[in-house]
Structure 1
């Protein structure tokens, strides 16, 4: 898999990291308590603020190829990894729960001896962080960034602001059938659905290829767990500083559903990307990378609780 950076004119991973040969290390792995191997990668040098980037459902660590080198070039020590069932990590016949993914994150942090970590979750990656906090508290975490995820995807008696594509049993069944009967078609459609600002065709192809490396049967079962979990009761109990990033033109969630995350977490700032969709970190990487770098290295710097970019 080539880095997404290599597909952009005039940029290579080394150039993006200011030419530092130590910017990016070779793939490594950790083995979880149930024997599942997770593949991870490190950018930057030890000593800077630790940042762990968590991809979303059906993605991979390479979805962060435009972000990790930038953060490393600005002093952070950055880790990306493939969650189980995705990318280069193992795809076992069990563990189709967000809680298992949260336990994997815990084992990664412990085995890599990471503390005071800024965790960044995109889409389902947010739910992995919320589950981590529910199960393990805020141990080893310094702060968190959530990228375009509503606190509940399904429709409920008091909630209509979740996912536009998977929100009840019927829509879940349609998605599961698509994954199992036309996975290539799903991968292609998913990219168009998640972007409003067009990506370069070469980048789109790489993202599709990364999706196709996931296990479609596992994705189908994992979504059944993910879409039904209501995180609203947990969010007010989160004490660490948080950043909630919203794609105003997201086709996956109505923006006002994602905005609720920032309203429920006490110490949270919300930033709207006014022109971007669900994959805002790929659509407007310069804006996103600068925002995240500032958050990881210096916190909020007394900014307004709600920002518009």
Structure 2
């Protein structure tokens, strides 16, 4: 298994850093969530035994540049396209966790699915903000977790947060009960590497999106992963899978993981679910060919 760290310049002049591990097999891109980094997926290195695994720090996150522009989901989707161009990826699997899932939906909306072999969505609602024109049933089923005024207030608080304490408390709320101290210390440390005021701009843009119209247009094998103990309702992940043609769903019980971070809490169980899905996708393609 080979591993390398590289960087590239996006079409709007921002340098992003990535890790490229493994070699043979279909490339798998892992996309992190808001306020986090590619290091979140250190427990997924085992997936590189059978495929090429690529992780990237989005702009404003981790070791990538922290410019003052481009903090919107559509620009992050363009950055994903730029990365696939840089690495000459004409066909790849992609996993998006939390905000990373929204980046995938935006990518599909802008560029289609031609380069995608399969899609894995991890613990992300189709709509974050419960806007007034959604019915109560739509708000509940789609997994909207914040009222619109709550999203505005949260973004404002984070924009004004000079110590990082508000951001840390927000992410801490994504764990049910008391997280493993080592896991939480790692997550908290990664949070500190995110650009401050710009992260609030990104959070507001991310939270204001509604991807329900994209879901029926997804025409690639899709796995949706949720977790009973997450702040994202597990039923919202079942709702996603019901609206994506032929999608599969896997919900981790609280005995396996109980947070928004199942890949950190139980990497072996998480990796097994992902690996089995990707093997099924590969077998299906072999049969078709």
TM-score scaled by length of structure 2: 0.89
Aligned equivalent of 1:140: 115
Aligned equivalent of 2:26: 49
Aligned equivalent of 2:88: 113
Q: Distance in 1 between matches of 2:195 and 2:144?
A: 22
Cα contact 1:61–1:82 (8 A) shared by 2: yes
Q: Distance in 2 between matches of 1:151 and 1:248?
A: 17
After TM superposition, the structure 1 stretch with the greater mean CA deviation from structure 2, 261-270 or 193-202, is 193-202
Q: Distance in 1 between matches of 2:70 and 2:111?
A: 18
Q: Deviations over 1:34-59 (max 9, x none)?
A: 101110001112x2121000000111
Task: Please state which structure has a larger fraction of its residues in helix.
Answer: 2
Q: Distance in 2 between matches of 1:121 and 1:183?
A: 29
Aligned equivalent of 1:299: 281
Q: CA shift at 1:229, angstroms?
A: 1.1
Aligned equivalent of 1:290: 272
Q: Which one of 196, 199, 207 corresponds to residue 216 of structure 1?
A: 196
Q: Deviations over 1:247-268 (max 9, x none)?
A: 11211x2222232110110020
Written as runs of structure 1 = structure 2, the 5 A alignment for 1:226-305 is: 226-251=206-231, 253-275=232-254, 276-299=258-281
Q: Distance in 1 between matches of 2:151 and 2:204?
A: 10
Q: CA shift at 1:134, angstroms?
A: 0.5
Q: Distance in 1 between matches of 2:171 and 2:206?
A: 20
Q: Distance in 2 between matches of 1:116 and 1:285?
A: 26
Q: CA shift at 1:191, angstroms?
A: 4.6
Q: Distance in 1 between matches of 2:182 and 2:274?
A: 25
Cα contact 2:158–2:200 (8 A) shared by 1: no
Q: CA shift at 1:197, angstroms?
A: 7.2
Q: Distance in 2 between matches of 1:200 and 1:300?
A: 35
Instruction: Give every structure 1 segment of 4 or more consecutive aligned residues whose post-TM-superposition deviation is greater than 4 Å.
Output: none
Q: CA shift at 1:180, angstroms?
A: 2.6
* Closer/same/farther in 2, CA of residues 126 and 150 from structure 1, 3 Å limit: same
* Closer/same/farther in 2, CA of residues 198 and 284 from structure 1, 3 Å limit: farther
Q: CA shift at 1:277, angstroms?
A: 1.9
Q: Distance in 2 between matches of 1:301 and 1:263?
A: 23
Q: Which one of 54, 60, 66 corresponds to residue 85 of structure 1?
A: 60
Aligned equivalent of 1:66: 43
SS in structure 1 opposite 2:226?
A: strand
Q: Deviations over 1:202-245 (max 9, x none)?
A: 33222111111001211100111111111111100110000000
Q: Distance in 2 between matches of 1:200 and 1:190?
A: 17
Q: Which one of 119, 126, 138 corresponds to residue 151 of structure 1?
A: 126
SS in structure 1 opposite 2:130?
A: coil
| Unaligned ranges ≥5, structure 1 | 1-19, 303-309
Q: CA shift at 1:109, angstroms?
A: 0.5
Q: Distance in 1 between matches of 2:17 and 2:171?
A: 24
Count of aligned pairs between the two proteins: 275
Cα contact 1:76–1:297 (8 A) shared by 2: no
Cα contact 1:102–1:128 (8 A) shared by 2: yes
Q: CA shift at 1:139, angstroms?
A: 2.1
